[in-house]
Amino acid sequence: MTEDAPKTGQKRVALVTGGTRGIGLGVARALARENFDLAVCGVRDAAAAAPALDGLRQLGAEVLYAQADVSDPAARGKLLEAVRAQFGRLHVLVNNAGVAPKVRADVLEATEESFERVLKVNLQGPYFLTQRCARWMIEQKKARPDWRGCILNLSSVSATVASVNRGDYCISKAGVSMATRLWAARLGEFDIPVYEIRPGLIRTDMTAGAQGKYDSLIAQGLLAQSRWGLPEDVGKAAAMLARGDLGYSTGQVLMIDGGLALQRL
C-alpha cells in the first residue's frame, strides 16, 4: 500500500477549483452532502472565503482551502502538494474555475490581452491541472484496483452558442469541450471517466451584470424551462457523476441549460 492509499473508512476526496462561490460552491455543497471531503481553491484570501468554507464544514466535510490561481503552473503544483499533505488521496477533480472577459468586446475590436487571460484561466490551467491529477489518479488505481474516481469539466453553452461580444470566452469553453474528449479517450484504459457539464444561464455573481438582459430573454421564451438555473442544479449533476451513476458513459456532455440548446419550432 502506498502512502497515498486510503485507510479503511476514509471518505473520498474531491478537488473543486473556484469552489467558494457561484457554480463551484454549488458543486462543493452537493459533494459535501454526498460524504466527500473537499479541497477547494480560489484566488481570494482565506478570510474572504471563510463563510463559504464554514458552510461546507457544517455539511460534514473536512475542507482544505488553498489560495491558488489555476493559470499559474507553480500555484497548481503547490495546490496538489497541499492536497497530498492533508488527505493523501484524490478521487474527483472538478475543473470549475473560470473568468469572463473584463470587457465584452465585439470580435472586430477584441484585444489579444483579453484573449490570453481568458484562455489561460479557462483552458490552459484546467488542461494541465487535469494532467497532473490524472497521473496521480493512475498511481492510485494501480495501487488499489478498487479505487474509483472521475474528472468533471465545467464548460458552458457558449462552447457551441456564438456570442460575438465575448469570443474569447466562447473559444475557451469550446476548448474545454474538446479537452474532455481527449482526456476521456486517454484515461479510458484506466477506467477513469471524464465528463463535461455544460451549464446554461445560471444565476451567479458572474451573470449578475447581464441579469436584466437575460430576464427579458427568458420572459420572451428563450428557454424551454422558463427560469434561471441555480448553482445547486449544476451541483446535483456533479454529485450524480461523482457517485459513479454514469460510470459507463465517459466523454459525455450533460446539459444543464433549461432547454436553451433544444431546437424548437
User: What would the pLDDT profile of 77-128 be if each residue is shown by its tens digit?
Assistant: 999 999 999 999 999 999 999 999 999 999 999 999 999 999 999 999 999 9
CB 26 within 8 A of CB 235: yes
169 is catalytic: yes
Say whether 13 sits in a helix, a strand or coil: strand
User: Taking the model in full, what pTM does it have?
Assistant: 0.95
All structural domains of the chain, each given as residue ranges with its CATH number in brackets, are: 13-202+230-256 (3.40.50.720)
Cell match 445547486: residue?
Answer: 232
Q: Cβ distance 31 to 242 under 8 Å?
A: yes
User: Can you tell me the distance from the alpha carbon of 239 to that of 191, in angstroms, rounded to the nearest whole number?
Assistant: 18
Spot the catalytic one: 169, 195, 214, 248. 169
Q: What is the pLDDT of residues 202-219, one digit of tens each?
A: 999 888 888 999 999 999
